[in-house]
Structure 1
C-alpha cells in the first residue's frame, strides 16, 4: 500500500472504502475497496476531500482480488454454466440450463483448506433450474499471493471441480402390479404420481401396463416395454417382503442385474434398482412414493435422468442425510434430505 496524489491515481486500485457524506442528503460508500480509479472518478474524489489516496502497489507474484477470483472461477467453470460479474473478489457460478449439479467434494475440501480463498457450492447431485446460483468463489484479502491460486489450480488438475449435466430425453415404461388395480377394484393413484415426477425431468411415458400379481405376467410386461424402446422401466406395487409380493423376484427373473433391493433411506427402504445388460435402468418403487413428498425416488431419479449410472456404493452413502424429517410443510429439495452425498 502506498500514498499517491489523487490526480495521479488513474489505473490504481483503492485499498479502502471511501465514504461520501452530504448533510441531510446522503451518507454512503462512494468508492469501495478494490475499485480501479478511472479518469472520471478524479473530480468526484477531489469533491469529497480526497487529494491523496492509498492504493495497492503492484508487486511481482501478487494478484488483485478480482484477478484471483477469475482464476477461482476457471477452477469451477465447465459446460452449461456462466459467471456473474466479478465484484470485490467474488464471482458466482450460475446455471445456464436445467440439470444435475455435481461437485468433486474431495477436491473442493482440499482447495478450501488453503488460506485466503474459498469456494462455496450447493450440495453435489442437486437438481437445479436455469438461472440458479450453483457456487460462489471469493478471495478474502484485497491482494493475494499468486502461489496460493497456483496451489488451487494444481489440486483441481485438468478438469473443473464441478459440472452441470443436462437431462437426457428419455421414454419410460410403467408396470403397475396388483390384483386390486388389475381387476378394477380400486383406482390407480400411484401412476399419476410417478408420471408427474418423471415429467419434472423431461421423461415422457411411452407405455403403461397394469398386471396381476403373477410372476409371468410381470416379466412379460417388463420385456414388452423394453422391446418397445423404453429407456427406463418403473415398477410399482408388490415391493414388500410379503410372500405374495412378487415384483422384486420378477424384476430379477426378467434379466436385470439387481444393484440394490433395500436402501438406507426413509422413506424408501424397500426401493429396488437394477440394470439390464444394455444399460437400461429398472426401478421398483415402494408404496411411500405414492404418498410422501420426498423419497429415495427423488434422490435417484435426477441421476438417472442425467445419464449417471448409480452404483451400490452410491445407494449405501445415501444413509447419511437419508432420513426425511417429515416437516409439516415440505420444502424439498431445499432441505437436508438426501444431501449427505
Structure 2
C-alpha cells in the first residue's frame, strides 16, 4: 500500500486518509475517491490529498476483517458486518466463553496490521454480549499477511460459547450447636443466587447434623430426587480429605478427586464425584456473594465441562481475586496501593473497647496505666491515642480502679467511658461493662488492653481489614512468628457468649470453640505480644524506663 500526499491526477480509486471539509460538501475519512469527489476537491482549490493507494496483492480493510471473522465463527457466535476494518463477534446465548489464548497471541504477532481482541478466557457472558473484535489497523493488509493468518487459524476453533445447562442442584447444610441461624440462611441464599444465575434450580435443602453418616444419607436422598450437582455447605470448614464432608461423599459411594485450590478466596474447596454426579464441599467464603474460587468451578460445571484436579491446579495465575489483610505486608510501611482490580467493599463498622479497670496488683502501689513516659504521657493515654489513630469507632474506655484519675488522664480525647462497678471481680466484669456500651450498629468489637502501648493504629486497621463474618472471618487475632497475641476482634454474633462470662477470664477460650470462624493476621513485630504489667517489664520500654 502506498500512503501519503497524492496528486489529484493520481487519486482516482485512492482511499482518503483524513476528512476534508469544503464549502457545501464533506468527504469523510475512508472515502474511495471517484471522479465526482476529485472534481469537488479541485473546485475547492485542492491540488492533492493524503490518501492510501492499494498495490497489487493488497486486501482492503473491510474484506480482510470479513475473511478473518469468518474463520473465527463458531456455534452460538454471531457477527457484525465489516465496517472501517472492524468486525465484532457476539454471544447468541448466555454461557461460558472460552478462547485459545496461545493462538490469539500468535495471530496478533503475525503483523501489526491485524489485531484480535477478546474477553478474558472463561468469562461468563450473557446473550448479545460482545466476545471479540477484529480490527485491521491500516486501510489494507498485504495479501501475504492475510494468507498466513488464514493458514494458522483454519480448522482450529479459536473461541466458543458453551451454554449453561439447567442443572438441578442439591445442597446439604450441616449444623453445629452455636451456629447462628442467619449464617445458615446466608449460605442458602448465596448458593441459590449462584445457581439461579447460571440457569439452574435448587432442590429442597437438606439440613443435617455435622456428622459423616447424616451427610451421606442426605446426599443419597438428593441423588434419588434428581440432583445433577451435589453441594455440601459445612458448619465447620473442611481441613482434610478425611473430614466430615469429604468422608460423607466417599460413604455415599463417591470419591474425592481434589482437595484445595490455588484461588483465594476459595482455598478450602473439595471436589468429588458420586457416579457421574459432581459433588463438592464448599469453602467458607461460598457463604458470601462475592467472587471466589467456587464460582469458577461452578461455572465450568454448568457449562458442561468436567473439572479435573489438573484444571483446579491450573487456576493459580489470576487466582488472587482480592487483597485481604490476612496476607500481611512484609513491612508496616509497605506501599498502600490497591493490589486488586476488584473494588473494595464498604468497611465494616467496628468499635473498640480499651480495658482500663484493673487494680494493677503486680505493680502495686503504682497504677501501671497512669505511669508517664519520658514525655509525661500516661500509658493509658498512649494506648487510647493509638486506638484513636485507627478507624475503629466508637472508642469506649472501661474504667474501674481509680476511675477519676484514668478519666482525667484521657481528658479532651474523643472517647466514651463505661464504668465497671464490679471491676474487682475480674476481667470478665470489665469486658461485660464495655460490651453493654457497644452501639447496635457496630458489627464487631476490638478488645484492647490498657497496658499494651506499642500496638499501633495501623496494626488495628490491619485486623479490621481481615474482618469479614460472611466469609468465615468472624474472630481476628494478631500473631507474631506464629504466637498468638492481642488485641482480638470479635463479631457481634459472639456478644451473648461474652456477656455470659464470669470470673477473672477473658473471651479467648471462645476462639478455640469456634476455630472455624477464626483468622490469624501475622504482624511484622512483637508489639501484639508485649504487655507491661510489672516494673521489670516497664524497664524494657525505653520511653518508660526510670519513670515511677
TM-score by length of 1: 0.83
Mapped to 1, the partners of 2:180 and 2:140 lie a distance apart of 73
CA–CA distance in 1 between the matches of 2:28 and 2:279? 59
Of 320, 325, 332, 1:323 maps to 320
| Aligned match of 1:294 | 291
1:72 matches 2:55: no
Map 1:238-277 onto structure 2 (within 5 A): 238-241=236-239, 245-277=243-275
Question: Do 1:177 and 1:247's aligned partners in 2 also have CA atoms closer than 8 Å?
Answer: no
> For the aligned residues, what is the CA RMSD?
3.1
1:35 aligns with 2:31: yes
Equivalent position of 2:129 in the other structure: 132
The answer as to 2:109 corresponding to 1:108 is no
Distance across 2 between alignment mates of 1:75 and 1:15? 29
Selected match of 1:303 from 295, 300, 304: 300
- When structure 1 is superposed on structure 2, of 144-153 and 46-55 the one drifting more is 46-55
Q: Show the counterpart of 1:14.
A: 15
Greater relative contact order structure (CA < 8 Å, 6+ sep):
1
Query: Aligned pair in 2 of structure 1 residues 183, 96: CA closer, same or farther (>3 Å)?
Result: closer
Distance 2:131 2:279 in 1: 30
Q: In the alignment, is the contact (CA less than 8 A) between 1:15 and 1:56 conserved in 2? A: yes
Distance 2:151 2:107 in 1: 9
* Cα distance between partner residues in 2 of 1:268 and 1:91: 38
In structure 2, distance between residues paired with 1:107 and 1:305: 26
Q: How far apart are the structure 2 equivalents of 1:252 and 1:176? A: 17
CA 1:123 to 1:185, structure 2 compared with 1: closer, same or farther past 3 Å? Answer: closer
Query: Aligned equivalents of 2:255 and 2:241: distance in 1?
Result: 22
Indicate conservation of the 8 Å contact 2:270/2:281, yes or no: yes
CA distance in 2, matches of 1:121, 1:317: 21
Find the counterpart in structure 1 of residue 375 from structure 2.
none
Contact 1:19/1:30, CA 8 A, preserved across alignment: yes
User: Residue 145 of structure 1 aligns with which residue?
Assistant: 142
TM-score (norm 2): 0.53
Q: Distance in 1 between matches of 2:97 and 2:300?
A: 10
CA contact (8 A) 1:90 1:136 kept: yes
- Please give the alpha-carbon distance, in whole angstroms, between the structure 2 residues aligned to 1:180 and 1:242: 21
After superposition, the C-alpha distances for 1:29-88 in whole angstroms (9 at most, x for unaligned) are: 7411x3345798678656655576676555442201111111221232212222234222
Q: Would the aligned equivalents of 2:97 and 2:159 in 1 still touch at CA under 8 Å?
A: yes
Aligned to 2:528: none
Q: Per-residue displacement from partner, 1:184-213 (whole Å, max 9, x unpaired)?
A: 797532111100111111110123111112
SS of 1:188 mapped into structure 2: helix
Q: Summarize the Cα distance change of 1:81–1:193 in structure 2 as closer, same or farther, 3 Å threshold.
A: same
Contact 2:16 2:32 (C-alpha < 8 Å) held by counterparts: no
Q: Which residue of 1 aligns with 2:159?
A: 162
Q: Is the 8 A contact 2:7 2:47 kept in 1?
A: no
In the alignment, is the contact (CA less than 8 A) between 1:100 and 1:167 conserved in 2?
Answer: yes
Question: What is the total number of aligned residue pairs between the two structures?
Answer: 321
Contact 2:97–2:124 (Cα < 8 Å) also in 1:
yes
Seen in structure 2, the aligned counterparts of structure 1 residues 110 and 257 have a Cα distance that, compared at 3 Å, is farther
Q: CA deviation at 1:308?
A: 1.1
Of the structure 1 ranges 242-251 and 282-291, higher mean CA displacement relative to structure 2 is found in 242-251
Distance 1:147 1:180 in 2: 72
Are positions 1:178 and 2:165 aligned together?
Answer: no
- The one of 185, 190, 209 aligned to 1:188: 185
Gaps of 5+ in 2: 324-341, 346-548
Partner of 2:279: 282
Name the SS of the counterpart of 1:134 in structure 2: strand
User: Could you tell which deviates more after superposition, 239-248 or 307-316?
Assistant: 239-248
